[in-house]
Structure 1
Amino acid sequence: MADVMVAAMPFHGHAGPLAAVAGAFVAGGHRVRAYTGAAYESAFSAVGADVILWRSARDFDEHDPSGSYPELAGRRGPRQMLANVEHLFVRSGAGQCADLLEAWRGRPWDAVVADATSLGAAFAAERTGTAWVSVSTTPLALPSRRLPPPGLGIAPARNAAERARDAALRRAARSATRGIQRAYRDERTRAGLGPGRARFDEATASPDLVCAVGVPELEYPREDPTGRIVFVGELARRSPTPGPSPALPEWWSEVVRSAVPVVHVTQGTQNLDPSDLIAPTFAALGRQPVLVVATTGRPDAAPLPFPVPPNARVAGFVPHAALLPHVDVMITNGGWGGVLAALAHGVPLVVAGGDLDKPEAAARVAWAGAGIDLRTGRPRPRAILDAWRRVSRDAAIRGRSRELAARFAEHDGPAEVVAHTLALIDRVRARDRG
């Protein structure tokens, strides 16, 4: 039996996958604690983990992070991404580490299993000298000597001109992220660590084991050493968990019995302005022979500020496991968890990735041949209509989506993270004995 600390940043797309991992450890008879924000306490306690909440680290509401971090107010696009990384992810690192070290002093763990943006978990593993597994819940963001900088949504170079472009972008990215690197050094000092040899974008990935969600077909070819990276498919619970099942909307029978194709449009769980993607999708498909199922990402199910066409149905959330088997095409803002869920069900995608990691998700879907990248988070109705028509009719895209579903079916992500972690614990114990 292992004693494991699972750490997740308090975002839906991070906490959900890590809760599935925590549940798999519990099911295997291991002792599990989970460190996360208050909003996700119930997600981890429901799978049997003992929950430790952010205290020294400043907790926040993912739907309004500027309420706790005023530095983020009014930012979108690249400015939002840089500010989020610096203030939410980096400058909370020492506080997270303090919380985790307090837990360690009460009961040491055998391994920290943390989402790759949980900087405090990396610090705590370094302070305690324990095994550390980083779980990449977003498109793999490890820097590369040959690829474009992660986050820009640019596919690998195909010729000399594009290789020169990528080299210039890598230099520019180092300049643009100097503030983040300064913050990283400051947090290492606050956490009682030396300056370190790695940059922040390298230091958030475990040197021993990176469990990346997805499948290799969605990852760009790398010339860098990748032996520590394993792909684990989708991190979703495959068996029922304690507590009631998520409620389905009252119009659910219309989805199940629909005589026309079902198109799912989702605004994701961050930057929830429905005018970005839901409104233009309604304008594009409101007169088409489809049933549009829109999810706003808002748990309060607030009414939309614009008319809903007769062929559309709206909810805050609908469980992917229930919905996606009925979906013909998914139109998404590019949240990686939703993208992977769609591909795991063989559903082709139209992706409007505007900011954060979403342009990267959109570019990888297009690069893998499983959908269309609209190259904006605020597409025009005509662009959505044209993309939906192409995805609906293109046999190559639909076939590629089914191929990727077959690759996902080969994985049981949470169980694989458990197995890889236990193997790493054994290697660390053997190394310490030697």
Structure 2
Amino acid sequence: MSRFLFVVPPLVGHINPAVGVAAELSQRGHELAWACADPGLVRQLAGDAVVFPCAGPVPGTGDGVRPPEIRGPEALKFLWERFLVPLADDMAPGVEAAVRDFRPDVVVADQQALAGGLVAERLGIPWATSATTSAEFTDVLAGMPKVADWLDGVLQGLRGRIGDPSGTADPRFSPHLVLGFSTRELVGSDAMTGEQIRWVGPSIAPRPTPPGFPWDWLDPSRATVLVTLGTANTDVGARFLTECLSALRVRADRVQAVIVDPGGALGETTADDKDVLIVPSVPQLPLLERVDAVVCHAGHNTVCEALWHGVPLVVAPIRDDQPVVAGQVTDAGAGIRVRFGRVPAVKLGLALDAVLHEPGYRAAAGRIRTAFRAAGGTGAAASHLERIAPLEAR
């Protein structure tokens, strides 16, 4: 059996897909360990896991608090300079210590935990990329050559500090294996190609869920809509959630809504409110089995989990990879895009009516659902990882 070291950033949306793959590998008898700047978060999501601590910035604190108004290249620069690069520099010693102590046969590095691939390359260990968003597979910087050159310089600087200066691999894309947690049916035909790229579909696996969700509250006679902005957008979501609430209230005769509001922007619903349920968190995977549409920020995990269940979407991208993922949804015909910062309740309501009642959106979501489930998910990802382990370790 082989040993696999998962190197992940302290981000729920990046750890969750790896958790399902790790669980599958463990079931097959392999040994697992993790390296992360937030060991407690890994244990919260992965259960009783061996986690090697690393240094690193905590998202959304200190210099990592991103002004909500920045967008485009400015937001990209902020992400790299204030989070991804410091995270890689800070994590590198901890990753190297984990490699020394755990002696993995394969390192599985999240695409935003760049220290994983760079340290593995320098130490001569096979490594795989866990691409928990498909945005990097599209050339979003094709029209911005100066930004692309700047990013190349950033990556070269990282390699010089923590990697093998003579190496040539892009630390975001392992030359051995890249696990893409999507399929071409969603990503599109123009996505990056390569023999090492394997599209395995979403990593859907049981995960810890918050207790106490009122399942009996759901009304099977009305369509159910889930509204969520993920775990990292509490600071910017108040206006959008308010517009969603207004749009949903006027459709209460035919629509019931669950709104995830971790920041408490909307207050609480009363016990006798049968039209809208406002909660800080939801058991998202089981809930998606019972909803008819999702309104979200086009976060990769939320989009893929909705489409895994054949649920069409209204997407309102905020930043980072979300505009790319939103474009994938609309290009596939599985949803409608609205403007996060400006959309009024009336337009939100019309978009919601369309995805609920025009059959083309649900049909497109169903096609992606079929493709996702045929891709193999965590089982396919685990098999690909087993194949890059050295023969003597299998």
Q: What TM-score, normalized to structure 1? A: 0.82
Task: Name the CA distance, whole Å, in 2 between partners of 1:313 and 1:425.
Answer: 48
Please give the alpha-carbon distance, in whole angstroms, between the structure 2 residues aligned to 1:228 and 1:179: 26
Matched, 1:233 2:201: yes
Name the amino acid aligned to 2:260.
Answer: T
- Deviation at 1:104? 1.7
Q: Which residues of structure 2 form unaligned runs of 5+?
A: none
Which of the residues 153, 159, 165 maps onto 1:188?
Answer: 159
Alignment of 1:83-102 (within 5 A): 83-102=78-97
Q: What displacement does 1:196 show?
A: 4.7
Conserved in 2, the CA contact under 8 Å of 1:142 and 1:205? no
Residue equivalent to 2:317: 353
Residue in structure 2 matched with residue 266 of structure 1 by the alignment: 228
CA contact (8 A) 2:6 2:33 kept: yes
Over aligned residue pairs, what C-alpha RMSD do you find? 2.5
Q: Counterpart in 2 of 1:43? A: 44
Aligned pairs, how many?
386
Structure 1 residue aligned with 2:294: 330
Q: Structure 1 CA distance, aligned partners of 2:68 and 2:298?
A: 21
Q: Distance in 2 between matches of 1:76 and 1:25?
A: 40
Secondary structure class of the residue paired with 1:356: coil
For residues 341 and 381 of structure 2, the distance between their equivalents in structure 1, rounded to whole angstroms, comes to 32
Residue 317 of structure 1, CA deviation: 1.4
Query: What is aligned with 1:175?
Result: 146
Q: Percent identity?
A: 24
Shift of residue 128, structure 1, vs aligned partner: 1.3
**Structure 2 counterparts to residues 196-275 of structure 1, below 5 A:** 196-197=167-168, 202-222=170-190, 225-238=193-206, 245-249=209-213, 251-255=214-218, 257-272=219-234, 273-275=236-238
Give the equivalent residue in structure 2 for 1:80: 75
Q: Which amino acid aligns with 2:302?
A: G
Task: Please state whether the residue corresponding to 2:293 is helix, strand or coil.
Answer: strand
SS of equivalent residue, structure 1 residue 326 = coil
Normalised by the length of structure 2, the TM-score is 0.90
Summarize the Cα distance change of 1:315–1:7 in structure 2 as closer, same or farther, 3 Å threshold.
same
Match of 2:57 among 53, 56, 59: 59
Task: Report whether the alignment pairs 1:282 with 2:245.
Answer: yes
> What secondary structure, in the 3-state scheme, does the structure 1 residue paired with 2:347 have?
helix
Matches for 1:361-380 after TM superposition, within 5 Å: 361-380=325-344
Query: Which SS does the other structure have where 2:250 is aligned?
Result: coil
* d(CA) in 1 for partners of 2:353, 2:185: 25
Q: How does 1:138-177 map to 2 (within 5 A)?
A: 138-142=133-137, 149-150=139-140, 170-172=142-144, 174-177=145-148
Give the Å deviation of 1:355.
0.8
2:78 is paired with a residue of what secondary structure?
Answer: helix
What is the CA distance between 1:341 and its match in structure 2?
A: 0.7
Aligned counterparts of 2:352 and 2:128: Cα–Cα separation in 1: 39
Conserved? CA contact 2:42–2:49, under 8 Å: no
Q: Deviations over 1:313-337 (max 9, x none)?
A: 1112111222111111111111110
Letter in 2 for 1:99: G
Residue number in structure 1 paired with 2:256: 291
Residue 394 of structure 1: how far off its partner (Å): 1.3
- CA deviation map 1:323-364 (0-9, x unaligned): 111111111111110111110111100000121111111100
For the residue of structure 2 that corresponds to 1:141, the secondary structure is: helix
Any idea what the Cα deviations from partners look like across 1:388-419, whole Å, max 9, x if unmatched? 11111211111111222222222442222111
In structure 2, C-alpha distance between the alignment counterparts of 1:122 and 1:379, rounded to whole Å:
40
Instruction: Report the residue type matching 2:177 in the other structure.
Output: L
Quote how far apart the aligned CAs of 1:184 are. 2.4
